[in-house]
Structure 1
Amino acid sequence: MKALLCKQFGPPDTLVVEEMSTPEVGADEVLIDVHAAAVNFPDSLIIENKYQVKPDLPFSPGGELAGVVAATGANVKNVKVGDDVIAFTTYGAFAEQVVTGADRVIPMPKGGDYVTASAFVMTYGTTYHALADRAALAEGETLLVLGASGGVGLAAVELGKALGAYVIAAASTDEKLAVCREHGADDTINYATEDLKTAIKERTDGRGVDVVYDPVGGEHTEAALRGCAWRGRLLVIGFASGDIPNPPLNLALLKGCSIVGVFWGAFVKREPENNASDLKALFKLLGEGKLRPHIAGTYPLARGGEAIAALASRKVSGKLVITPREG
């Protein structure tokens, strides 16, 4: 089988495609023929040894995929050979085949396609956990989404609307904001041309926003925190800007607001039953057409490094997907 390999830590252009032997399947594991694997921000970190998970070299990046079960271990009961599945591997998915634990595999919704399925669960799962669980976003509240044209950003726009919120999308170009409006944003802020704190105040008649969804970090976090309403919640999703901010904590005191961490991967491991319930709700919304994953492009395995670089540059709206079995 072919795999996109990280043989030395470095930028995406150091990745290489090589032939590898088919991995062996343990008693509690599943071998999957990978048809599509979504690119996520952690992929750009793990290949430079900047992620909290640090695999031994060489390894293939890619933590989210859709494909077909090719083999199962003796103890596996939840899936069988031939099943269409979605899996979460942390790394290893940018390959024609991958082995992962059976507990990381779920059936793919019927009628779905591999590309969409590979790009759905991690993005929307993170966001549903953030908005519905960690923020308890209520109908009629105002949600501000930073980095709103990215994969998780667009998921937050759509899920915010599905949960009944008034959604303000913030991004760095008018083109990105146009995509946000197509996915349901009620209002937009271009924080490259507008002062974010002032814009929040203007958009909310001075009240502020109830929830901030922040996958970006950097300079905009403090401005968004200053734009929180009384009892607001700022959700810490990630740091796509590369800068972990240090906002003054007196703002949380003065506004009676909360800074709330969101770590979906740990939630999945610690609370599997609650995650299963979330996924059931998400698949229902997908089936009803209330969620529309935006796939910005697909890349063959040989151009996987390009896909990771494009996502890391923050020039992409929506998700990118690698298709290992296509030339």
Structure 2
Amino acid sequence: MQAWQVHENGEPSEVMRLAEVERPTPGDGQVLLRVRAANINFPDALLCRGQYQVRPPLPFTPGVEICGETEDGRRVIANPALPHGGFAEYALADSRALLPAPESLDDAQAAALHIGYQTGWFGLHRRARLEAGETLLVHAAAGGVGSAAVQLGKAAGATVIGVVGGPDKAAVARELGCDVVVDRRAEDVVAAVKEATGGRGVDVVYDPVGGEAYTQSAKLVAFEGRIVVVGFAGGTIPSPALNHALVKNYSIVGLHWGLYNTKNPALVQHCHEQLTALAERGAIRPLVSERVPLDGAAAAVQRVADGVTTGRVAVVLEKGAGA
């Protein structure tokens, strides 16, 4: 079968190599899946660079989120078990963690429903307790993680403010349903959000960026607001001033979605049921901006790493993968 492999750490476009390899053999509790579509996530770039919290042995195949098919023909969503990731014709996954792919979504959309939307659901509902009528600010609102949070925020009845970088991404954020869009490259984010909220600020901030975005968040969060720390795609991990949180009376909450898979897997299943219901009624639909063939995966991962994409980029495989 064909699979992308990383033999040394570095930029995805430089270290990912397409090779002919043997199909992986399932271990105890694992299942072999034929990959139908693999969604590209920022962690795939971090894996290539050797900067992710999980470091699989070299060589490994990246790709942490797929829509696949079981040997008995079931269409499922899974997180592949590294080092046998999803940028390949076949991948391995934990048989207990398979989730049914919603019938309302195609393969690329289904592959993109999992990590970003689960992260959004847990962040907004489990950690921030977002309520209808509240105001939600989403950083990087046109990106893969941010676009999911925008849709989930609208589905929850919140007013959503999206912060983006550039006019093209601003247009995407508006199409996603943002009530207010702020272009950080052309506007003062703090001033624009204060004006949009009548000086009050926002109830919930969803921040997958860190760095300057977090600094802005602390200035914009309202009384009894919640800042959800999702990640640091901007490359800088902030050091929050806790006296500021005390004086303004807001909460800083962290979200590591992966922990729920080991600490409370039943809640992951419950979340998937909620997401499936939302997808079935059209309240959410993953924004897949690009669909590329398997041989285009390395270049696509590099584009995601460079931050020039919107929504999700999916690697889509034709039916009938090779041996």
TM-score by length of 2: 0.95
User: Once structures 1 and 2 are overlaid, which stretch shifts more, 102-111 or 48-57?
Assistant: 102-111
1:235 paired residue number: 228
Residue 223 of structure 2 aligns with an amino acid whose one-letter code is W
Q: Is the 8 A contact 2:228 2:252 kept in 1?
A: yes
2:151 paired residue number: 158
1:314-325 to structure 2, matched below 5 A, reads 314-325=307-318
For 1:65 and 1:87, how far apart are their aligned partners in 2? 5
1:4 paired residue number: 4
> Which deviations, in whole Å up to 9, do the C-alpha atoms of 1:89-137 show, x marking residues without a partner?
2641111001121023122223532111111111111100100110000
For 1:292 and 1:100, how far apart are their aligned partners in 2? 24
2:239 paired residue number: 246
1:74 paired residue number: none
Matched position secondary structure for 2:70: strand
Q: Is the 8 A contact 2:104 2:280 kept in 1?
A: no
5+ unaligned residues in a row in structure 1: which ranges?
A: 71-80
1:217-232 to structure 2, matched below 5 A, reads 217-232=210-225
1:73 paired residue number: none
- Pair 1:16 & 2:17 matched: yes
Residue 206 of structure 1 is aligned with which of 195, 199, 208? 199
1:49-128 to structure 2, matched below 5 A, reads 49-70=50-71, 81-89=72-80, 91=82, 92-128=85-121
For 1:246 and 1:48, how far apart are their aligned partners in 2? 24
2:142 paired residue number: 149
Alpha-carbon offset, residue 173 of structure 1: 1.0
Residue 57 of structure 2 aligns with an amino acid whose one-letter code is D
- Pair 1:274 & 2:267 matched: yes
Alpha-carbon offset, residue 28 of structure 1: 1.6
Distance 1:29 1:267, change over 3 A: same
For 2:77 and 2:292, how far apart are their aligned partners in 1? 19
Superposed CA RMSD: 1.4
For 2:252 and 2:201, how far apart are their aligned partners in 1? 15
For 1:309 and 1:295, how far apart are their aligned partners in 2? 17
User: Once structures 1 and 2 are overlaid, which stretch shifts more, 99-108 or 286-295?
Assistant: 99-108
Matched position secondary structure for 2:261: helix
For 2:167 and 2:217, how far apart are their aligned partners in 1? 19
For 1:293 and 1:23, how far apart are their aligned partners in 2? 29
For 2:208 and 2:2, how far apart are their aligned partners in 1? 32
2:160 paired residue number: 167
Alpha-carbon offset, residue 23 of structure 1: 1.2
Distance 1:90 1:22, change over 3 A: closer
For 2:29 and 2:216, how far apart are their aligned partners in 1? 47
Matched position secondary structure for 2:162: strand
For 1:31 and 1:39, how far apart are their aligned partners in 2? 20
For 1:272 and 1:46, how far apart are their aligned partners in 2? 24
Q: Is the 8 A contact 2:203 2:226 kept in 1?
A: yes
For 2:295 and 2:97, how far apart are their aligned partners in 1? 26
Matched position secondary structure for 1:177: helix
Residue 165 of structure 1 aligns with an amino acid whose one-letter code is A
Alpha-carbon offset, residue 88 of structure 1: 0.9
1:310 paired residue number: 303
For 2:240 and 2:271, how far apart are their aligned partners in 1? 31
Q: Is the 8 A contact 1:96 1:325 kept in 2?
A: no
Give identity over the alignment, percent.
Answer: 41
Matched position secondary structure for 1:47: helix
For 1:90 and 1:166, how far apart are their aligned partners in 2? 38
In the TM superposition, structure 1's runs of 4+ consecutive aligned residues that sit over 6 Å from their partners are: none
Q: Is the 8 A contact 1:189 1:196 kept in 2?
A: yes
For 1:5 and 1:325, how far apart are their aligned partners in 2? 20
Residue 131 of structure 1 is aligned with which of 124, 131, 135? 124
For 1:250 and 1:191, how far apart are their aligned partners in 2? 27
For 1:199 and 1:248, how far apart are their aligned partners in 2? 23
Matched position secondary structure for 1:143: strand
1:187 paired residue number: 180
Alpha-carbon offset, residue 84 of structure 1: 1.0
For 1:250 and 1:222, how far apart are their aligned partners in 2? 14
